[in-house]
Each structure stands twice: as structure tokens, then as C-alpha cells.
Amino acid sequence: MKTADFKVISHRQIADHIFQLILTGEEAANMTEPGQFVHVQIPGKTAPLLRRPLSIADAEPAAKQCTLIYRAEGPGTKQLAAAGEGDVVNLLGPLGNGFTSAPEQDGKAVLIGGGIGVPPLYYLAKRFAASGIALDIYLGFRTKGEVFLQKAFADLGQTTITTEDGSFGEKGYVTDQIKALRGNETFYACGPRPMLRAVQEAAESKAYLSLEERMACGVGACLSCVCESARSVNSPYVKICSDGPVFNSAEVKI
């Protein structure tokens, strides 16, 4: 594992507050597992104390490129948004365990993303599509202005967009859409906790959930980023950074 400097190839706003950052660097060669994340050192004269975890939204390991998609919200991500072409961004990663299981033979993959949980699903969708796995994609956003990647996803599989205010796609929550599903689907979800909880409940078959928690080290050393385990007795928590961020839905209490 390493920290490595990446160079900004392109950086642009793709929706309200949402930025797409394309980077190049040797370490991108190792970014082969969708669902992993990088721990980003915010560039600037004085960096914030801690790195910021961001999912790998896309990667071309051979071309040594990767894409991060993030919401410029707090001070750190707002400062990141100022990085320009040619600037250097230091990444620690790829970190954690991603989406490693494919759906069962002939099964369908149902991808469910909410808001800023959508990015890692893109890299996953690309992989599944390339392997010929059938995809049903449900993406939820607050409002029209915050919708992103819908075309990119639509190219890969059947894509349904929901917005809370109905300003784009279906009105309501992405989880309303999946209630009807009952079959041999395998669920792959990333988004806010209530959404993940709904998926956990709805999913009779297998579900893989990508979790978020505040992190410090990003590598499993500080015990910041825990989530209650549904299994273990002795150690009641799992570490999202190193045991996750993707968990089998049966492993975690959320």
C-alpha cells in the first residue's frame, strides 16, 4: 500500500455541487476492484488535518487513470474543488474491499444508488456490463439539478432515476422502486443509511452494501470508522475502511 501523487487531467462540475475529477498516476494500475476507495489529501497551501475518503467512481488501470465524483460540501471538499488541471492530488489507496461477488448464474444485478453513493456503482456497472451481466439500475437524487451520470448508466443497463421532489424521473425514493422486486436479484447498494436499511429489509436474496463513516487513518489502525457487526460476539464492530466499505448485508447492523 502506498500514498502517491496523481495529476489532475480534468476537473469539472457535472451537477449542483457535484464535481468529477479525473486523475492520472501510476497507482491507478492497482484500482481494479469496484467499490474500493481512496483517501484524498486535500491540496492547498495548508492542508486540512485529515484526508477525505472518496470512492473510486471509475478507473482505467491500463491507462493509469481514475475518476472521483464528489459533492463539494464541507471545507475540505470545497477546497478540493479548487484544484485545477495539472495540479497534484495525493491519494492513499486503493483501500478497503469492494464489490467482489458477482450475481449468481443467470441472476440479475440490481444496483441502487442514492445521491453521492452513486459514483462507486458506475465502475461496478461498467464491469458487470462488460461481463454480460444483466443490470437493473436505480438511482435516487433529491432534485433534478443534482442528477448526474444518468446517461452513462443508461448505456450500461436499464436505468430508473427518482427524485424526491419529482423534478426528474420518478417522484419519491429509490427504495420505493425496488419493493416490487422479488426474485434471483443480487443487490448492490451505496447511499444514505435509511436507503441502505430499506435495501437490507427489501432484499430477500443477497445484498452488498457500501457503508460510510467518518475516518481518520483509512487503513484499519485507529478504529474510527466502525459499524455494528451482525455476527461477531467478541468484537461487536467491523471497520468500514478495512473490513468494508462493502459488506454483505447480513454482516452489518445499520
Partner 1 sequence: MTDLTVNLPGMAMDNPVMTASGCFGFGKEYSQFYDLNTLGAITVKAVTAEPRSGNPPPRTAETNSGMLNAIGLQNPGMNKAVAADLPFLEDYDLPVLVNVAGNQQDDYVNVVDHLSRQAKLSAFELNISCPNVSCGGLQFGSDPESAYKLTKAVKNTTEHPIYVKLSPNVTDITEIARAVEEGGADGLSMINTVLGMKIDLQSSRPLLGNERGGLSGPAIKPIAVRMIYDVSQAVSIPIIGMGGVASADDVIELMLAGASAVAVGTANFADPYACPRIIGDLPARMHELGWKSAQDLTGRSWNHCKSPLSTLR
Ligand X SMILES: Cc1cc2nc3c(=O)[nH]c(=O)nc-3n(C[C@H](O)[C@H](O)[C@H](O)COP(=O)(O)O)c2cc1C
Amino acid at 100: T
Chain centre distance of CA 20: 13
Q: Least distance in Å: CB of 169 to a copy of itself?
A: 37
Number of residues near a copy of itself (by CB under 8 A): 6
Per CB under 6 A, 1 contacts ligand FES: no
Q: In the structure grid, which three cell numbers stand for residue 178, read together?
A: 425496488
Given a contact cutoff of 8 angstroms between Cβ atoms, the answer to whether 32 and 2 are in contact is no
Site for a copy of itself in 61-80 (CB under 8 A): 79
The contact pattern for a copy of itself, residues 31-60, with x = CB under 8 A and - = no contact, is -------------xxx-x------------
- List 1, 88, 222, 250, residue binding ligand X (CB under 6 A): 222
Report what 223 binds from a copy of itself, ligand FAD, ligand FES, none; CB cut-off 5-8 Å by kind: ligand FES
What are all long-range contacts of 6-13, with beta carbons under 8 Å and residues at least 24 apart?
Answer: 6/66, 6/88, 6/89, 6/90, 6/91, 7/86, 7/87, 7/88, 7/89, 8/83, 8/84, 8/85, 8/86, 8/87, 8/88, 8/89, 9/65, 9/85, 10/85, 11/81, 11/83, 11/84, 11/85
Question: 154 in helix, strand or coil?
Answer: helix
Residue in the block written with cell 448505456: 155
Site for ligand FES in 207-236 (CB under 6 A): 215-218, 220-225
DSSP string for residues in 222-251: S--SEEEBSS-SSS-EEETTTT-BEEEGGG
Q: Toward partner 1, which CB reaches closer, 41 or 160? A: 41
Which chain residues interact with ligand FAD by CB under 6 A? 37, 50, 52-55, 69-71, 73-77, 116, 119, 212-215, 245
- Indicate the residue whose CB is closest to ligand FES: 241
The contact pattern for ligand X, residues 181-220, with x = CB under 6 A and - = no contact, is -----------------------------------x----
* Alpha carbon separation from 24 to 126, 180, 192 (Å, rounded): 19, 42, 29
Q: Least distance in Å: CB of 93 to a copy of itself?
A: 23
Which chain residues interact with partner 1 by CB under 8 A? 1-3, 41, 47-51, 76, 92, 213-227, 234-237, 242
Q: Can you give the binding site for ligand FES, defined by CB under 6 A?
A: 215-218, 220-225, 239, 241
Q: Can you give the binding site for ligand X, defined by CB under 6 A?
A: 216, 222
